Homo-oligomer: A and B are copies of this chain.
């Protein structure tokens, strides 16, 4: 058994008004409040009855570390909402190489690619830690898209944002040198995924390398450089960012 990396409180839905004792099956908990507050709250625009429609018959599944949740190139008709745990979203490219385009944690929403376009999955989603998630039938999503304008706007916004992220990644991965890319990966982990400072990553060096488009050996070497420069500290799976400005500088200079 792998060590529990997340805080125990993750199991509870923060800010969730439980309708029943069994939080797992509480609509309000599972699919409304459980989405990230603020910007990315995709479902905030749904009425209560729409939410119930969406959530009705959804599958709540638990995946073990390493398991594939949705496989690239299959035509899955599901959309994934993560309730707990960490998943990686990656493209299986040429010559067996993988490219991790995104990590998804609690309350994240992953639409597997071509909604309204045949539903062919553009990437693989797999569990890094144990993942509790809901699989929502994507046809329900498209139906709500048509019925609720505000929701449609949110979904489009979501896609537009994803677009921007990909475009950004394209530039970073093709135009920056390795140190710049590793700096970006570290800043992403700290500020977008774990949101704490010494953070402990359930990812392997290979994963970090796949996020930064390099080999694991190269990644390790850059990490070593950062350590000796006093930019970061590492203890096993835990990474502490000592000099964030320094990293940002390196990121900026490519």
Residues of chain B within 8 A (CB-CB) of A157 are 116-117
Contact B101 A170 (CB under 8 A): yes
Q: Convert A63-104 into 0s and 1s, putting 1 for each residue whose CB lies closer than 8 angstroms to a CB of B.
A: 000000000000000000000000000010111010101000
Indicate if the CB atoms of B171 and A94 lie closer than 8 Å: yes
Question: Which stretch, A11-19, A52-60, A158-166, touches the partner chain B?
Answer: A158-166
Tell me whether A149 is interfacial, beta carbon within 8 Å. yes
The answer to whether the Cβ of A199 comes within 8 Å of any Cβ in the partner chain is no
Counting every copy of the chain, the complex holds: 2
**Of B99, B117, B167, B175, the contact of A175 (CB 8 Å cutoff):** B99
* Contact partner, A164, options B93, B122, B155, Cβ 8 Å: B122
Task: Report the minimum CB–CB distance from A234 to chain B (whole Å).
Answer: 26
How does the 8 Å CB contact mask read for A137-162 relative to B, with 1 for contact and 0 for none? 00000100110010011011101111
Do the beta carbons of A167 and B91 come within 8 Å of each other? yes
- With A and B bound together, what is the CA distance between A169 and B92 in angstroms? 13
Task: List residues of A whose CB falls within 8 A of some B CB.
Answer: 91, 93-95, 97, 99, 101, 113-117, 122-123, 142, 145-146, 149, 152-153, 155-157, 159-164, 166-167, 169-171, 173-176, 180, 213, 254
Whether B155 and A145, one on each chain, are in contact in the complex, defined by CB atoms closer than 8 angstroms, is: no
* Contact B94–A160 (Cβ < 8 Å): no
**Of all chain B residues, which has the CB nearest A92?**
B171
Q: Please tell me if the beta carbons of A156 and B156 are within 8 angstroms of each other in the complex.
A: yes
